Chains A and B, each alone.
Chain A
Amino acid sequence: MEIYLPIAEQSMNVFILLGLGGAAGLLSGMFGVGGGFLATPLLIFVGIPPAVAVASQANQVVSNSISSLQVHWRRGNVDLRMGLVLLLGGMIGSSAGVSLFTYLKAIGQIDFVIAVLYVVMLSTIGVLMLFESARTYIRRRRNPEAPRGKLHTHYLVHRLPLKLRFYKSKLYISALLPIGIGFAIGVLSAILGVGGGFVLVPAMIYILGMPTAVVIGTSNFQILFVAANVTFLQAATNGTVDVVLALLLILGGVVGAPIGSRLAAKLPGVVLRGLMSVLILLVAGELLTELLRTPSSLYSLGTRQVLP
């Protein structure tokens, strides 16, 4: 069944879009990240203009993060203070990101930048995660009774000024660090149409040293508001948010997410992270191939301008 997408200005199969939303939801249920990193490139692969794919996907992220925030909030897994500090950076970053997006679109380089950013981000994170989960897996097999060690490692960055105490995360670190991370995620979110959970979650664990229990809830808190900001700014400045497209992705996601979380409960974390990293690397590989392969046509059209 085909449906016409009024902003993308083309018709598309309803089930493809529901399926894409469902797959993104499944991932978000399994790994606690938005799944946007997968849905956005796939939307572009099926022929949605990148500008519309990114903006509508941001709209989907709003829905996804409110569902999952509901749960984590009730369980008390949100470090509100950390969330607000991250959000401060996130709001600035996403606003800057939308302006950058508009500029890149005007000069015709947005597709390239989106693809390159995805390849760099996904391959870095995929490799890091793969190594981390492999190491943990091997270590556990050798010595299941291994000592836990320190709560987290102390790096140079912990010596920055403006230190704040984050009780829930049991951290005493500079506010500049989460602001900086929030900013970077905000820019990423605006340009790639992702919540950025797949970068934010590892950054919170490995850079900030937050306890895993509060990471997902807190990241969802920040992502909700950043995605809402991106949706608003994209709609206001570029008019590229397709609510019909977003609604279909959302409905798919609503069904996919609980299935994902049920699957996650049955599999150990290390295996999940291993699977996730393989998936991330596959998407990165596909995008890289697209960049390297000689295109079927060298030509494409920019925005059509109706002259007065």
Chain B
Amino acid sequence: MRGWSASAALLMAVVLAMPLSAQGPRVEPPAGGIFGPLPGSGQSTDPSAPPSVPNQFETPELIVDLSRPRVSITSAFQGESILLFGMFDPPGEIVVVVVGPPARETVLRKQRVLGLWLNTGRQEFDDVPAYYSIAASQPLQRLLARSAGGEILSLEDRMQSVQSVGQRDHDDLTRFRLGLVEVKRREGLFPAAIGQVTIQANRLFRVELPFPSRLPEGIYEVRTYLLREGRIVAAVSRPLPVGKVGFSAQLAGWADNEGPLYGLGAIFMALLVGWAGGAVMRRI
């Protein structure tokens, strides 16, 4: 009986904690807010900014911030949309690229064998970003056609530079590459559509960055570019940590680092709930 009420209390606590932890990050003031950097201390000197960014500007031509400093995967996480907003010195167009941390991906391909579909092909790719999305204030092709110096890559171009592991003929490799993109698209990790950056009053901009529920953890990078006549005149790079927090983080941490202990805990939980639940339900 006691076990049952304890586990019920635990569940209640989890349920109650969910809306709270979901709201948590909203309260936190974003680091380096829109009024943060003063003129002169220009964000364009950011050491993590891409090398092609010119450093000679006296005033910040581009100021960027995110509605949340991080993506917190809580028990209530169902994917999240983060608002990126900022200001720039007109004229110009804005392009935002979000890149997830790279990892090696294994692509499996099914084939019909004796009437049954099973995985027969296998190709590994190195340095595949966990997530890749682009948003722009104008159709991207038009912006890139005027050449952004190869700095801003469309998803297709980015995937062309992904290294394959081992030997495979070119055509087949292309099919695997397309397969990889297809799966990532389906999972919402490579959003198919180019996001729309909206510009207001000729100098304010905003864009929603969509993150799906099945989101790999790690430090993502949000790069914002200011383009004038196809040339990058300013760029700001912001890290965006994506990670589990609270109860989810605790459990995942135990599962990763204390596997055997976690297993015993899982068994104990099952015995407790099964025993107590069985006893209670038989009486009803």
Chain A residues close to B by CB (< 8 Å): 2-4, 6-7, 9-11, 59-60, 62-68, 70-71, 108-109, 111-112, 116, 228, 231-237, 239, 241, 243-244, 246-247, 250-251, 254-255, 257-258, 291-295, 297-307
Contacts and interface: CB of A to CB of B under 8 A. Distances in A.
25 contacts: A4-B76, A4-B248, A6-B251, A59-B270, A62-B274, A63-B274, A63-B277, A67-B275, A67-B278, A71-B278, A109-B119, A112-B118, A235-B262, A235-B266, A236-B263, A254-B273, A254-B278, A257-B281, A294-B112, A294-B117, A298-B109, A300-B110, A301-B180, A302-B105, A306-B218
Contacts of A11: 76-79, 213
A251 B248 contact: no
B277 A235 contact: no
B244 A6 contact: yes
Interface stretch (B142-150, B152-160, B253-261): B253-261
Interface in B118-153: 118-119, 122, 126, 130
A247 B11 CA distance: 9
Given A63-B271, A112-B116, A258-B282, 17 more contacts: A4-B213, A6-B249, A11-B213, A59-B266, A59-B269, A63-B270, A64-B274, A66-B274, A71-B278, A112-B118, A239-B255, A299-B183, A301-B180, A302-B122, A304-B104, A306-B103, A307-B104
B119 A108 contact: yes
B240 interface: no
A232 B264 contact: yes
A228 B267 contact: yes
Interface of B: 11, 18, 73-79, 101-112, 115-119, 122, 126, 130, 176, 179-180, 182-184, 186, 213-216, 218, 244, 247-249, 251-252, 255-256, 259-260, 262-267, 269-271, 273-275, 277-282, 284
A298 B179 contact: yes
A200 B138 CA distance: 64
A286 to B, nearest CB: 15
A297 B77 contact: no
Contacts of B284: 258
Given A4-B213, A67-B278, A292-B116, A231 B273 contact: no
A209 B262 CA distance: 39
B183 A232 contact: no
Nearest to A2: B78
Contacts of A228: 267
Nearest to B284: A258
Contacts of A112: 116, 118-119
A258 B266 contact: no
A71 B281 CA distance: 12
B255 A7 contact: yes
A7 B252 contact: yes
B256 A301 contact: no
A70 B278 contact: yes
B105 A301 contact: yes
A259 B180 CA distance: 46
B270 A246 contact: yes
Contacts of A60: 270
A226 to B, nearest CB: 12
B263 to A, nearest CB: 3
Contacts of A292: 115-117
Contact of A236 (B78, B108, B259): B259
Given A63-B274, A231-B270, A3 B76 contact: yes
Given A231-B266, A241-B263, A295-B110, A70 B279 contact: yes
A232 B267 contact: yes
Contacts of B270: 59-60, 62-63, 66, 231, 246, 250
B116 A9 contact: no
A207 to B, nearest CB: 28
Which 3 pairs from chain A and chain B are nearest by CB? A235-B263, A67-B278, A63-B274
B109 A299 contact: yes
A55 B104 CA distance: 25
A158 to B, nearest CB: 36
Given A109-B118, A297-B186, A307-B103, A70 B251 contact: no
A301 B216 CA distance: 13
A58 to B, nearest CB: 9
Given A295-B117, A306-B103, A4 B259 contact: no
B269 A247 contact: yes
A243 B263 CA distance: 9
A246 B266 contact: yes
B213 A10 contact: yes
A214 B195 CA distance: 64
A10 B76 contact: no
